[in-house]
Each structure stands twice: as C-alpha cells, then as structure tokens.
Structure 1
Amino acid sequence: MVSSQGSTLSSNVTGFADKSSARTDVDYIDRVPIFVKELIAGGAAGAFAKTAVAPLERIKILLQTRTQGFHSLGIYDSLKKLLKHEGVAGFYKGNGASVLRIVPYAALHFMTYEHYRLWILDNYAALGTGPVVDLLAGSAAGGTAVLCTYPLDLARTKLAYQIVDTRGTVQHGSRQFNVNPAYSGIRNVIEKVYKEGGPRALYRGIGPTLIGILPYAGLKFYVYEELKRHVPEEHQKSILMRLSCGALAGLFGQTFTYPLDVVRRQMQVEHLQPSSQGAVIYRSTSEGLVSIVRNQGWRQLFAGLSINYIKIVPSVAIGFTAYDTMKSWLRIPPRQQLKATSAA
C-alpha cells in the first residue's frame, strides 16, 4: 500500500513538473515580441526552402549566364557534368551565400509583409481586405527585403558562376586542375567587389531585380492568399493545401518576371566573362533585354526556366508551408487579432 501511494505521489510530482515545464515554455514564447516571431518564422522558412532546391538553383545560374560548357546542355546532362567535375559539394556551391542571404531576406520579407498589410488596412480602408492588399503589401515587402540583402545575392551568383574541377582529370598520368577561382568565399567576393567599384558595385543589377521582385513578390502573396480564401475552413491547416497553394503562387508569379532575372544574372557576372574584357555590357534593364534578344536570341530570356519551374514549385510551396507552420508553433495570433491589437 505504501508502495502504491509512493508510486502515485511520484507520478503526480512528475506530471506537475512536466506541466510546469510546458507552462514555462509557453510563457517564454509568449513573451517574445510578435515581430521577432515573424522574423524567426520567415528566416527558418526561407533557409529550409532554399537548401531543398540548391542543386537546381546552381544549374539555373549556369544556364542563365551561359557558362562555358553548360549553355547547350539540358538539366540532366548539366547535373551529371557538375557532379563529375565538382562532386556532390558542387550542387551546393554558393548555397552558403544563398542561405546567408535568404535568412534575413525571407525574415524581412514575411515580417514586413505582415506589417505593410496592417498599415494599408489601417490607412487605406477603401481598398478593403481583399487580395489587392496582399498584392501591394507583398510588393513593398519584396522591395524592402531586396534592398537590405542584395550584396549577398551578388556574392551567391558570382560563387555559383565559377566552375572548378575539384576532382581533377587524369591526362598523361597526371592530374590536371583548373586555375584558381576568382573568389574564395562570401567575404572575399564582397571585399573584392567593393574594392573594385565601391558601394555602387555591390548593387550591380539591382534595377532588374527590383523591377522583377515587385510584381513577383506581390503576385506570389496575392495568389497564395486568394487561393487560401477559397479553401473550406476545415482544410485551412492542411499541409497538402498549403503546399498546393504555394506551388501555384510561385509558378504564376515567376512566369511573368523570369526574363528580368536573366538580365540581372548576366549583369552580376558580366565582368567575369572573357568577351566583356571588363567593359560594361548593359547600362540599364531595357538595354539588357534588347541586347540579349538581339545577340543571344529571345530564347535566352527563358534559359533555365524549365529548371525554375521544377525549382519554384517546391521552393515557394515549402517556404509558405514552413512559414505558416512556424507561425502556429510560435503561437503568432491570427491576423484578425493582430489588426484589433494594432487598432487598440
């Protein structure tokens, strides 16, 4: 009997301790400011989504920039060639810079989207609460995030553009390696670019980036939120529903803005191309578009688009799903409650 009472007492104490620990965790999370939670949710979602599609992102950049030996290959042959020359690590070359950029980018993108949305609702009631608000808030958030993180995107592109035979090839009984790359890492890229052209050089290609990101980011949020509005309430938290809505949102938004992404990539690496000899190829976005069509053919404006379709579906889908899931885990209040709190 004593043993039974002791066991009961022990289980009660354990249960009390577990509940106390859980309550402490709840209190700690609830004390974190909402905007910090939104930053954490957005950053985690971006890093997870970007790493998942890193190999396809690397191939896309090689095709966009017409890297020697890759511009005439398809997706499968490009992946096979990259694996042969650089191994599995080659699939993730530049991904460190990509994740380093995407964490603050996605964090700012999602967080500022939520706040721009509230600001529009509070100050422009005539617009209502429909998808137009998501379009405007998403565009503004995309522009803000790009301006704050663009140098890291520049570094990612320059690193991904380089091809180095890290495995070497056997010729005449000796291993032959390519010459050393122009850049050895993220910091090295930033330092060299800044030294060569100052702050302005760190934002080379920002024009087409902003022109492209404003409609893309806006359309992405617009389509995602609009699709979610047509889903029955009992399916609102379904992972499959979020993945599907996110995939369609990314697919739709990317189709309209892809040529601008090609111009941006070529502007970012133009001085690394032998034909450029250090000269400025494109002085503006419109000049870049016209020049590519005239000299490389209109198809080049969509080089790598098939990869982007394959990449953007899981990327945006995973990003939105991870963001919504993180919001639930961090107990970020629904938007209706946030709006009420803001008004109060």
Structure 2
Amino acid sequence: MRALWKGNIPAELLYVTYGALQFTAYTTCTSLLPPMPPSIAAFIAGAAAGGTATTATYPLDLLRTRFAAQGAERVYSSLLGSIRDISRDEGARGFFQGIGAGVGQIVPYMGFLFAAYESFRPVISPLDLPFGSGDATAGAMASVIAKTGVFPLDVIRKRLQVQGPTRTRFVPGTGKGYRAVADYAGLGVLGTGKTIIKREGWRGLYRGLAIGLVKSAPASAVTMWTYERALRVLKERQIAK
C-alpha cells in the first residue's frame, strides 16, 4: 500500500509552495492589468501565475515524479539522498530536466483554467448546490477542459523528468516501458513528442489522461472552493478593521 504514496513528501512541499506562489502572482497580476474582458484578464494572469510558480518550484516537481516512478528497486533512499545524488551526478541542471515542457504546459493550462473558471463561476455559483459548491463545480469543469487541452505536454514533461544517469533503473527490463523511460535523453520537448508519436501513435500523447482527470478535477474543485472562501474571510476581516 505504501507504494501508492511514493513521492508524497516532495508532492506536499510542491503543492503548498506552488499554491501560495500561484495565487499571490495571480492576484498581483490581476490588479496590475488594465481594464479588459474578465476572461482575457483571467487567462493572462493565470498564465503568468502558472509560469512563475512552476519555475520556482520545479525541482520539487521533478523529485515527486522520480520517486513515483521508482519500482521495487529504489533509485533514491530518501529525499535528502535524492537531492545529494542528483546534485552530484547531474549538477544543478539535473533539477530542471524537462522544465521547457513544464512551463510550456502550465502557462496555457493555468491560463485556460482561470479563464474557464471565471466564465463558469458567475453562472454556476448562484445555483443552490450543496455546501455552496458552485465554485467547486466551476473549478472542476474548468480543470477538465484545461487539462485535456495541454495533456500531451504533461506526458512529455514526465518522460523528460526521469532522464539522467539513473533513468534505466526506473523501469527494469528491456520492453516497451524501458524504452519509454530510457530513449529521450537529449531530445528536448519537440524531439520527445515526435518520438512518442512515432512509436505509440497520437494516443501515446494522452497516455494516463483518464487518471489525470480523476486527480486534477477534484483537486481544482477543492482549491477553488477553498480559495474563494479564504479570500472572503480575509476581505471581511479587512473591512472589520
């Protein structure tokens, strides 16, 4: 059962820091933009927030992916050990493997997510839903649209993240899974995408989409619901003062 929680510690560190940076950048960028349609402003602010937060927290994203990709043979013994090994064997650049795909994915994803959310929220929020879950419903719907649109870059990002001296240890053997892990070193974003299409067809770029939506839709629902209520509480306290 513990294997289902591989990479949870760096994932939790990632979510906390990423969420804080993302919403700080989003509200700041929104306040600085000139008057424009709300959906366009939300797209620009969301894209800027996503790019900023992803760049700042990318090493944690890479560590999460590598720990999750470990099989029965452990590549890294601990979180501190992984930082030490990557720093020694791959240098500082090793912590940013696949960052091009990461930023390329998150910029349109967060842009579409916030644009769709700000479009859905005025329509859905007033509805009489349990626990005031209109914001959550809007967040889930926006996440499904955005995630599906940029998912190929997510696949490329994860395959690039496990590149490096230890890449052949993530999937032991010599089958298709081994090639999927081992053969993308030095190809970059476009090269990796072309190789996936050549070997697996266009469907290869959407491998794991179903489970990705199962994860991202409720996560976005909870995030948006919490964000709106936290923002409301902070504003009420500010007015009270």
Could you tell me the TM-score, scaled by structure 1's length? Answer: 0.61
Identity of aligned residues (%): 29
| 295-304 or 283-292, larger mean C-alpha shift | 295-304
* Structural mapping, 1:263-342, within 5 Å: 263-271=156-164, 272-273=167-168, 281-329=185-233, 331-332=234-235
CA–CA distance in 2 between the matches of 1:238 and 1:129? 30
**Residue equivalent to 2:114:** 221
CA–CA distance in 2 between the matches of 1:97 and 1:279? 26
| Partners of 1:98 and 1:152 within 8 A in 2 | yes
Q: Deviations over 1:116-171 (max 9, x none)?
A: 00011xxx33xx2521000000000000000110000000011000122xxxxxxx
**Residue equivalent to 1:342:** none
Asked whether 1:161 is paired with 2:69, we answer: yes
**Residue equivalent to 1:170:** none
CA–CA distance in 2 between the matches of 1:300 and 1:94? 24
* Structural mapping, 1:60-139, within 5 Å: 87=1, 89-120=2-33, 124-125=34-35, 128-139=36-47
When residues 199 and 236 of structure 1 are mapped into structure 2, their CA distance, relative to the original with a 3 A threshold, is: farther
When residues 109 and 236 of structure 1 are mapped into structure 2, their CA distance, relative to the original with a 3 A threshold, is: farther
When residues 241 and 151 of structure 1 are mapped into structure 2, their CA distance, relative to the original with a 3 A threshold, is: same
The alpha-carbon deviation at position 115 of structure 1 amounts to 0.5
CA–CA distance in 2 between the matches of 1:197 and 1:305? 30
The alpha-carbon deviation at position 230 of structure 1 amounts to 2.5
CA–CA distance in 1 between the matches of 2:52 and 2:118? 20
When residues 140 and 267 of structure 1 are mapped into structure 2, their CA distance, relative to the original with a 3 A threshold, is: same
SS at structure 1 position matched to 2:96: coil
**Residue equivalent to 1:244:** 137
CA–CA distance in 2 between the matches of 1:154 and 1:309? 20
The alpha-carbon deviation at position 186 of structure 1 amounts to 2.2
Considering Cα pairs closer than 8 Å and 6+ residues apart, tell me whether 1 or 2 has the greater RCO.
1
The alpha-carbon deviation at position 280 of structure 1 amounts to 5.5
| Partners of 1:228 and 1:236 within 8 A in 2 | no
| Partners of 2:21 and 2:49 within 8 A in 1 | yes
**Residue equivalent to 1:53:** none
The alpha-carbon deviation at position 265 of structure 1 amounts to 0.6
The alpha-carbon deviation at position 263 of structure 1 amounts to 0.6
Query: Which amino acid in 2 is paired with 1:320?
Result: M
Query: Which amino acid in 2 is paired with 1:267?
Result: L
Could you tell me the TM-score, scaled by structure 2's length? Answer: 0.86
Question: Which of the two has higher C-alpha Rg?
Answer: 1
RMSD: 2.4
| Partners of 1:224 and 1:245 within 8 A in 2 | yes
SS at structure 2 position matched to 1:209: helix
Q: Deviations over 1:205-237 (max 9, x none)?
A: 000111110000011111111111224657699
- Structure 2 residue runs of 5 or longer lacking an equivalent are 170-177
| Partners of 2:46 and 2:113 within 8 A in 1 | yes
Query: Which amino acid in 1 is paired with 2:201?
Result: G
SS at structure 1 position matched to 2:163: helix
